[in-house]
Amino acid sequence: MRICFFGMDNLPVLAPEFSAHGIGGEQVQQTLLARSFARRGFEVSMIVYDYGQPNRKEWDGVMTYRAYRPRAGIPVFRYIHPRWTSTWRALCEADADVYYVSCAGMQLGLVALFCQRYRRRFIFRVAHDTDCQPDALLIKYWRDKKLYEYGLRRADLVLVQSCQQQQAMLANYGMRSTVAKMLVQQPDRSVGRDVDVLWVNNLRDFKRPDLLLALARKCPHLSFCMIGGKQEGFAGLYDDMVREAAGIPNLQFLGRVPYHAMSGHYARARVFVNTSDSEGFPNSYLQAWAHGTPTVAFFDPDAVIARHRLGSAVASIEQMAEQVAALTGDELLWAEYSERCLEYMRRTYSEQQVLAPYLDGVQEVCRV
């Protein structure tokens, strides 16, 4: 069976030589899924940006097809040429039985049109809570929202990350969906814990990086590490964070760090914090827990942090400071939470267990 993952930003995860380009959690998830499918005998392909790599280049059993360069196209005509035509060409080249798309955007409508035209199947996976909320979609243009909604309503299967998303998708779009967990790469725990607090995110407004700076100021006795790259449309925010971080002596700002170099940062940290206003199910949580690093966060999908005691879900920066101080200041308490994180990941995130709904979903849509 042939499956194609539509993930324009995936190549920096799949191929280390392109790791200078930015990524997010969904690019990690698509790539881990693609590799897992390839190991199980599927014919796997992926549609990615043109970074200058050869077309039809294979990495880890995944054949890649170039679409267009990240900044290609004139804004007024960007869905006509070259973005639309080059993407359609790549979809044709992949010639898959099933196409897999994630993240709300116009690309879902484009894939839906292609699959309708050539009688192929496609799966959509929600990547953020706002993907399920018409009034909160992180999509700039009205036309793109309509293309997203067009594609969503024609998906052969919709996968979500949490029960909260499942309920929202049904309530807001009338779409039934299946909860599917996320894969996590095997950790490296061979280094010492020499960083008290780690923050990892792309620097965008709703990620609230400013609150991490505030937390570092509230806890001058603790060491902080902040990792996050500059995002298109948020250059000013990035520059502000760089400037302010330079004035906080207990905070190290590293900027963008390639995915392939991230494992050691999770292993070195005693606590992982997340200050976002909204998320999907952060890939960073799984990476932290897999390394035995408890999480203190405002966002707690399906109350998993609170229910399984994997750290603390908090409601204010003051509470966050209190919980971080408690975990970093009590070795026995930290060890208890750390072991709980490791056990939770061993119990609920084995590769076979996580893959089951994806494998079942592919078989299901192909039987229709």
DSSP string, 281-325: S-HHHHHHHHTT--EEES--GGGHHHHHTSEEE-SSHHHHHHHHH
pLDDT tens string 234-269: 788 989 999 999 999 999 999 989 888 899 999 999
Give the chain's mean pLDDT: 92
- Quick one: average pLDDT of 73-93? 71
- Identify the pLDDT of residue 258: 87
Tokens of 77: 């005509």
- Quick one: average pLDDT of 278-287? 89
The domains of the chain are located at 2-183+350-367, 195-348
Predicted confidence (pLDDT) at residue 79 exceeds the cutoff of 60: no
Residue 133 contacts residue 149 (beta carbons within 8 Å): no
Count of beta carbons in the 10 Å neighbourhood of residue 352: 9
Identify the band that residue 189 occupies on the pLDDT scale cut at 50, 70 and 90. low
Determine the Cα–Cα distance for residues 347 and 286; give it in Å rounded to an integer.
13
Between 146 and 73, residue with greater pLDDT: 146
Identify the band that residue 91 occupies on the pLDDT scale cut at 50, 70 and 90. very high
Predicted confidence (pLDDT) at residue 76 exceeds the cutoff of 70: no
- Identify the pLDDT of residue 280: 83
- Identify the pLDDT of residue 72: 57
- Quick one: average pLDDT of 75-81? 47
Identify the band that residue 190 occupies on the pLDDT scale cut at 50, 70 and 90. low
pLDDT tens string 126-143: 999 999 999 999 898 999
- Identify the pLDDT of residue 188: 64
**CATH number for region 2-183+350-367:** 3.40.50.2000
Integer CA distances (angstroms), 186 to 22, 32, 260, 262, in order: 21, 11, 12, 12
| pTM to 2 decimal places | 0.88
- Identify the pLDDT of residue 294: 97
- Quick one: average pLDDT of 109-132? 96
Share of the chain above pLDDT 70, in %: 96
- Identify the pLDDT of residue 81: 56
2-183+350-367 and 195-348: identical CATH topology? yes
CATH class, 195-348 region: alpha beta
Predicted confidence (pLDDT) at residue 80 exceeds the cutoff of 80: no
Determine the Cα–Cα distance for residues 361 and 218; give it in Å rounded to an integer.
47
* Across 17-31, 62-76, 120-134, 307-321, least confident range: 62-76
